[in-house]
Amino acid sequence: MWLFVLICLVVLLAVGLNLFQKLYPPFGGKPSPADLKRYRQSPNYKGTKFEYPLETKMFKPSPGSMITALREYVQRRPQLKPDRPLPQVKLDRKTFEELQGDTVVWFGHSALFLQFGGVRFLLDPMLGASTSPMGGGKRFNRELPFGSLDELPPIDAVILSHDHYDHLDYGTIRQLKDRVGRFIGPLGIRCHLERWGVAPAQIEEYDWWEELELQGVRLACTPARHFSGRRLFKQGGGGLWCSWVIATPKKRVYFSGDSGYGPHFKEIGGKYGPFDLTLMECGQYDDRWWDIHMRPEQTARAHLDVRGNVLLPIHWGAFSLAMHSWYDPVRQLSMEAKQRGIPLTTPKLGEPVRIWVSEEYPTEAWWKTLESARKVGGFRGARPSSTMK
């Protein structure tokens, strides 16, 4: 009798969770049969999902891994969050309108405003307060560099790299859907945007190596080594992930999205490089998910592979999604960049960066004033040096 009751409760819980994910909008949508038919024609679609050409291992949470993570935290005591808000440059509509020439503004994590070739883009505009649909993973700063989305100038296009919560935010898209001309992303992004009210005619999906042109600016959807999915307890949701090349006849910018290190960086560099500026992932890394997020030394190597000039590190400075100190990515990358002769720019949140005006690139190590005075242990176990150069 009790076994029957237990089985019924488990079934009810499973059904309830499934219904919750279907009915709760932040979880996103499900590809239509017509979309799935198109996705299956992609050379990157294998079986029931998209895959990177090389084996890519992902971290699978378990009670044992959680205990290990807790033990490491106690031993190393990383400063996961800053003790006070990060410094930021305040922006308003007038400031945006007065930006001159090709300029990028970092809002924290991987969210950026890019004015390039006379076109205004938002890149992975996750501007919400939390990286979780359930309210966890709070942003370091309660306020963005600008007061509200009303302060933004007209945006020509939103460029998306994949559908994870820290890159694609339900609340942000809902606020942007009537303010933006086009939403451009990899295959599989459409179902989420349509569910959230974006008009189908505004949405464009691309496979790796496909190109488009927007008001004289050339964009190319390029590979990344990662995965997709927004559902609980399930990795991989049928969507693709990507990086982006954004170019004019005079300048080129590379936006990495999320990616582990791989040979695709050299392919991109060979086909589209060199780049005046790379917006390169650096942060939220761990030995347990080595294949899907880069450590700082790999970020530097990837930058050189794509033939980048100036490197602006992203995917840090807003959320704590790994067991390293919040400032560890930029601190380690700064040392790597110095050793490898890479020009590194480290703007504050909201600080405009002029592209191709090297003497104006911000280089202040502003995070040092916020580092905790307590002793912080090193990051656990790097891989053998054979994987690095």
Give the model confidence (pLDDT) of 272-326 as tens digits. 999 999 999 999 999 888 899 999 999 999 999 999 999 999 999 999 999 999 9
Helix axes 328-340, 296-305, angle to 10 degrees: 50
More confident: 124 or 388: 124
Contact 340, 262 (CB under 8 A): no
Mean pLDDT of 22-50: 90
Question: What residues have CB less than 8 Å from 170, skipping those under 6 apart?
Answer: 25, 26, 28, 128, 133, 196
The DSSP annotation for 189-205 comes to -HHHHHHTT--GGGEEE
The DSSP annotation for 132-146 comes to STTS-SB-SSSS-SB
pLDDT score recorded for residue 121: 98
In this structure, the number of other CB atoms found within 10 A of the CB of residue 256 comes to 28
Contact 287, 76 (CB under 8 A): no
pLDDT score recorded for residue 381: 34
Q: With 90 as the cut, is the pLDDT of residue 15 above it? A: no
More confident: 72 or 341: 341
pLDDT score recorded for residue 160: 98
The DSSP annotation for 260-327 comes to ---THHHHHHHHH--EEEEEEE--S--GGGTTTS--HHHHHHHHHHTTEEEEEEESBSS---SSS-TT
Which pLDDT tens digit goes with each residue over 215-239? 999 999 999 999 999 976 555 557 9
Q: With 80 as the cut, is the pLDDT of residue 357 above it? A: no
pLDDT score recorded for residue 11: 44
Contact 124, 111 (CB under 8 A): yes
pLDDT score recorded for residue 73: 59
Which pLDDT tens digit goes with each residue over 185-219? 999 999 999 999 999 999 999 999 999 999 999 99
Q: Please tell me the distance from the alpha carbon of residue 253 to that of residue 310, in angstroms, as a whole number.
A: 10
pLDDT score recorded for residue 16: 44
349, burial (CB in 10 Å: exposed 0-12, middle 13-18, buried 19+):
buried
- What percent of the chain is predicted at pLDDT more than 90? 76
Which pLDDT tens digit goes with each residue over 231-260? 765 555 579 999 999 999 999 999 999 999
CA-based nearest residue to 235, from 25, 28, 34, 61: 61
Look-up of token digits 């060199």: 274
Poorest-pLDDT segment among 11-20, 136-145, 159-168: 11-20
More confident: 164 or 384: 164
Distance between alpha carbon 125 and the CA centroid of its chain, in Å?
Answer: 9
Q: Please tell me the distance from the alpha carbon of residue 110 to that of residue 165, in angstroms, as a whole number.
A: 12
Q: With 80 as the cut, is the pLDDT of residue 337 above it? A: yes
Mean pLDDT of 96-102: 95
Q: Please tell me the distance from the alpha carbon of residue 167 to that of residue 94, in angstroms, as a whole number.
A: 27
Question: What residues have CB less than 8 Å from 61, skipping those under 6 apart?
Answer: none
Both tokens assigned to 308: 């980048």
Mean pLDDT of the chain: 88
pLDDT score recorded for residue 372: 57
pLDDT score recorded for residue 45: 95
Which pLDDT tens digit goes with each residue over 48-77? 899 999 999 877 665 655 566 666 656 668
Mean pLDDT of 103-124: 98
pLDDT score recorded for residue 58: 78
Q: Are strands 119-123 and 112-116 parallel, antiparallel or unpaired?
A: antiparallel
Q: Is the peptide bond before 274 cis (omega within 30 degrees of 0)?
A: yes
pLDDT score recorded for residue 234: 57
CA-based nearest residue to 175, from 141, 153, 198: 198
Both tokens assigned to 237: 């949701």
